[in-house]
Structure 1
């Protein structure tokens, strides 16, 4: 018989340490010979990412011990940071080390030999950074993207496709790096070499566009000495986003484009499977992969509307056959060799794990980072996909996670508190997968609703473009509409609603607290708080012109920046809030939080500010995540009027 306790006071085996220890997911999968390799997070090892391999006998082993951290800082969000090749004497690995951003080569089978640097350090600004490496052993080179700072400012930077010699001759000599392209474009992806080695393709774009607004697919011929002839634009433009291009085994060039309103696959300008669903997504990190051509001519694809499934596309018939299995969502990382495909999949009952699909047999299985229930799955939430109606009758997509506990229920007549989660980006989407941070709250009796507000990806370009010029309006309205709808239908307690989010979601949370009165409190995590400063040198180069699309050019609409910035409306905040910030965040720097709090001084609004040493944009250390989760729960407990067992009390200042 279920025990009756108020919402928020249900005892749960999912504590903050357990949730923190399972934060993150496998990324950058690939096949090195017959072995599957990928990167994995290590929250308890200072938040580093390591490289893991599955050997032919099925064993898993960590390739690089601490303190090696396989992670790039190109455009601050990084991207694919390693590449490997199998040789008779064993695997050869190249990777980017986070601490110094140098490219290293490593041969795990070589006795006593550690990683050796391939690229030099630079004393200028942010130095030399590398991402999306492609090993070309026969050429003795690694082709990748070079990001080179030319001064101390975040926008004093150039990016080109480059070739790094494998012999180590560039380890102390910047001039030994061979630049493949010039600097006519502000942003480039890693160059992809055709099977015959005679052509190369890459993607480029320029300020003020973001890669989901418009990019260009560029192709050039490769000469006998490895240089490139004059490149030409094959596809793309200011209103056409091409986030990925790959050569097929027959030498044709495949690419994803949203020219028809959805990211579909194209070959020679012809859509292979025209559907009102997405076969790609936003290029937040260089080297993301939503499709991979097979040697047979088939194409492994991630596709869907909202959720992203793994399937096999026959380009001749346009038919897609999805992989059988429990996975309902796949991350933007994919690789293929022969008939084998490796991907990273999850579901509402399982976290992300490395999945292998055999295209010949259709058999899919877990081959790495296998999900293991850390607690009885009876404590996991039971999510629901919902569509709500927003202002003007527009659709709002959301995932609802009601409170859930196998042994406890609330007193009759009590409605649960709910927290509205606004995702980051804002050009992004939250997947419907098992997240122990969500279970941390739902298993205690606190509901969560994740809102894929207008501007989110996964629902076509028209839905994505809703946020153009409307950031701080549409996202805020959509979150408020979902919260109000839950209260109106009797799902949530209208007096116990909160809003929370990180990065762009932190912005949405902060704007919500300054412009609406529907939330009793909020959690604001490494946020944008000052629009004018964010777009005038206080953030990194990649997003430094993002607000021109989201808000409008500052020179044309300066009043709009003031109207929407939470910094300018601190006086409107009356609800208690928690502010969480990494002190080494180059994207949303702590200076914004400090200015915000300075203006709040003397207003007697209960709040707490927790700033974490050694953390950047996105918390990666277990101890940070534990402190942040417990602080957030304590905020809700104090505002909503319940007493969760075993949770330290967060001191709220006034």
Structure 2
């Protein structure tokens, strides 16, 4: 990083904004220490376990060298490391090492201790995917998810090593197990195809017997594929002896508590706010029990805030960050990953009794605060005249009228355009571009009805909303209509290609591992998303014609502007054949095309060198074709 912050008017380099700053994930307070996962782009995306004393102090790397903590359950993973106290009361970590895909145990209070493998691989690697687990200290074991073949199950393994013990076979998918404080009850989430967990899912509960088996497993909440009232359940926790979840049966993911005697759920805090997010990965956390109260993250109109439940009401906790994730709590102290439009992502710690907080950035910000472009909230008429939201970032210097515009289409498509400092976005504004980051219909953070705008309408609503956002910026005099580019990755790559096909708003596009052929994706993707398109497009193969109508590959002749593609050759979510076919179709139509392939990358790019190359190549490509 630069030794002194870069001032306004200086273009940022890709190497400065990417490739060096680690991503912080899944903080965990345990005793007098704070632990977290650190994914390092400068080490080809390797993830390691870090720890330091609560309140600050020198960080310690617990898994140095070649250790790489990564879960591959459902391909997207998450929850690669569980921390807790063993039967002897000593802190321990159990993690999945990506080298052999096995579970390993590490004693955290023994400096220099070497990890111990708990299960043996079947050949070079373990046969299956493990993750999303917890430490059952009472029984001295790890409990988590095993994905093998076409099903998930809850399994356990002793912290001394041994064979996996099957605890519960899910009908289809499962995750997020949570153990009651006395170790006698286990709750977890399940869902079944064709539904995704944020569409319809259920909370399951069982009693843990003296032998460690799960008995009396039953469904307590949520809905299945056949239920016309879609209800999604997110992140069960134990608040003392009470079981608490986020459920969206009210239209927003709100917190509810199970009342065993009445056999019903009690809303804890009815609000038009989201206390959850789409469960793409394990390890996400938006609420926690600090020993006395429930603390939570809530999203209202695209901004996150931190608060607690006090006497049945929401009490916001004052702190300056509005992009928050990964909440954990212990004995009146909370921690999470936090950022704001002018503060980089870092670890936020807060003592509830005194209201004092500290924030430790993952890396210093190389840009002076007055040189940063701060997002302006933009509401506009989207598809069908619906009020739709985006964040607009003005170009450096504030000269809007002649500025080129970059439209960002997020992935998911359930993700959301967040407000935390994004230096890759600042790369563009420092070069005189305006950027509009669109929360198109289907995005999270605005309630279930906003998410459901995309039901059966993928390739229609998202395209219309991104186009409308661009035109809204132009109509305000903030950009030139003939210099609008669009870019996105994965689902955002599909929206990018579809927008180039079916509108005339954009003059260039960049697709990172984007979907080009919906029918091919329906037939050739991984288990987790095998039926996702049923809800986004229509039942396959019954609605084949609709798939063809919306697939950019089948309408490549409509694209009249240059396109640049980026694709990892290890991608099993969107196979490389999609990018190759789309690029070839455009070449056949004499459209300027550039393709960058990365042999060691999968779906999303983890290596910092790759990230830098992508950003530099995209900017060079757009600049050349816009004659800037």
Instruction: Identify the TM-score tier after normalising by the shorter chain.
Output: over 0.9
2:284 corresponds to which residue? Answer: 288
CA–CA distance in structure 2, aligned partners of residues 230 and 178 of structure 1: 18
The 1-side partners of 2:418 and 2:382 are apart by 21
Alignment of 1:323-334 (within 5 A): 323-331=317-325, 333-334=326-327
Query: Are 2:313 and 1:319 equivalent residues in the alignment?
Result: yes
Does residue 397 (structure 1) correspond to residue 389 (structure 2)? The answer is yes
Q: Residue deviations 1:537-589, cap 9 Å, x none?
A: x2111111000000000232110000001111111111001101111111111
Partner in structure 1 of residue 358 of structure 2: 365
Greater mean deviation of Cα atoms: 240-249 or 55-64: 55-64
Does 2:264 align with 1:274?
no
Shift of 1:428: 1.5
Q: 2:261 maps to which residue?
A: none
Structure 1 residue 13: Cα displacement: 4.9
Secondary structure of 2:588's match?
coil
Matched residue, 1:633 = 619
From the superposition, tell whether residues 369 and 86 of structure 1 become closer, same or farther in structure 2 (CA, over 3 Å): farther
- 609, 615, 619: which is aligned to 2:601? 615
Say if 2:587 and 2:593, in contact at 8 Å, map to a contact too: no
Please say if residues 26 and 369 of structure 1, whose CA atoms lie closer than 8 Å, have aligned partners that are also in contact.
no
Q: CA deviation at 1:89?
A: 8.9
Name 2:5's counterpart in structure 1.
Answer: none
3-state DSSP of counterpart to 1:167? coil
Distance in 1 separating the partners of 2:154 and 2:383: 45
* Greater relative CO (CA pairs within 8 A, separation 6+): 1
- Secondary structure of the corresponding residue to residue 73 of structure 2: coil
Q: Distance in 1 between matches of 2:124 and 2:96?
A: 19
Superposed CA offset, 1:136-155 (max 9, x none)? 23312101111123xxxxxx
| Contact 1:246–1:254, Cα closer than 8 Å, also in 2 | yes
Tell me if structure 2 keeps the 8 A contact 1:403–1:416.
yes
- Distance 1:54-1:108 versus aligned 2 partners, 3 A rule: same
2: CA distance between counterparts of 1:502 and 1:559? 25
* Shift of residue 442, structure 1, vs aligned partner: 0.3
C-alpha change, 1:303 and 1:359, in structure 2 (3 Å) is farther
Give the deviation of 1:192 after TM superposition.
1.4
The CA deviation string for residues 22-60 of structure 1, in whole angstroms up to 9 with x for no partner, is 555311110121101101121111111111111257221
* Aligned residues of 2:102 and 2:125 also touching (Cα < 8 A): no
CA deviation string 1:343-372 (max 9, x = no partner):
111100012111112122222222x44552
Moved over 4 A (4+): 86-90, 123-126
Structure 2 distance, partners of 1:353, 1:322, is 20
Return the alpha-carbon distance in structure 2 between the equivalents of residues 570 and 123 of structure 1: 45
What is the aligned-residue RMSD (CA, Å)?
A: 2.0
C-alpha separation in 1, matches of 2:601 and 2:391: 29
The corresponding residue for 1:425 is: 412
Aligned mates of 1:528, 1:355 — CA distance in 2:
36
Q: Distance in 1 between matches of 2:252 and 2:462?
A: 21
Report the Cα distance in structure 2 between the residues aligned to 1:197 and 1:414, rounded to whole angstroms.
Answer: 63
Q: Contact (CA 8 Å) 2:19, 2:607: kept in 1 or not? A: no
Alignment match of 1:530 (pick from 517, 520, 532): 517
Distance in 2 between residues matched to 1:569 and 1:140, nearest whole Å: 58
Equivalent residue for 1:95? 95
Q: Distance in 1 between matches of 2:134 and 2:277?
A: 22
SS at 1:630's partner residue? helix
Which residue pairs with 2:254 in the alignment? Answer: 264
**Matching residue of 1:648:** none
Give the Å deviation of 1:82. Answer: 0.8
- Note if 1:241 corresponds to 2:232: yes
Residues 317-361 of structure 1: CA deviation (Å, up to 9, x unaligned): 322222222211102x11111111111111000121111121222
Select the residue among 169, 174, 194 that pairs with 1:182: 169
3-state DSSP of counterpart to 2:65: coil
SS of the equivalent of 2:452 reads helix
Asked if residue 475 in structure 1 is aligned to residue 468 in structure 2, the reply is no
8 Å contact from structure 1 (residues 42, 48) kept in 2: yes
Question: What residue is the counterpart of 1:380 in the other structure?
Answer: 372
CA 1:577–1:452 in structure 2 vs 1: closer, same or farther (change >3 Å)? same
Deviates more, 1:10-19 or 1:629-638: 10-19
**Could you tell me how far 1:230 is from its partner in structure 2?**
2.8
Deviates more, 1:467-476 or 1:385-394: 385-394
CA distance in 2 between partners of 1:232 and 1:91 (Å): 32
> Aligned to 2:176, what secondary structure does the other structure show?
coil
Q: Distance in 1 between matches of 2:111 and 2:511?
A: 49
Q: 2:531 aligns with which of 528, 542, 545?
A: 545
**Mapping for residues 208-219 of structure 1, pairs under 5 Å:** 208-219=194-205
What is the CA–CA distance in structure 2 between the aligned matches of 1:634 and 1:19, rounded to whole Å?
Answer: 16
Question: Between Structure 1 and Structure 2, how many residues are aligned?
Answer: 608
For 1:426 and 1:24, the matched residues in 2 are separated by 24
Q: Is the 8 A contact 2:586 2:593 kept in 1?
A: no
Q: Does 1:82 align with 2:102?
A: no
Aligned residues of 1:300 and 1:341 also touching (Cα < 8 A): no
Out of 227, 238, 243, the position equivalent to 1:253 is: 243
Q: Closer, same or farther in 2 for the Cα pair 1:451/1:55, shift >3 Å?
A: same
Contact 2:24/2:362, CA 8 A, preserved across alignment:
no
Question: What CA deviation, in whole Å up to 9, does each residue of 1:446-496 have, x standing for no partner?
Answer: 111000000111101111100000000000000001111211221110000
TM-score by length of 2: 0.93
Indicate if the aligned counterparts of 2:189 and 2:234 stay in contact, CA closer than 8 A.
yes
The 1:313/1:111 distance shift into structure 2, 3 A limit, reads closer
Q: Which residue number corresponds to residue 262 of structure 2?
A: none
* Per-residue CA distance 1:469-525 (angstroms, 9 max, x = gap): 000000000000111121122111000001100000000000111111111100111
CA distance 1:429–1:278, change in 2 (3 Å): same
- How far apart are 1:124 and its partner, in Å? 11
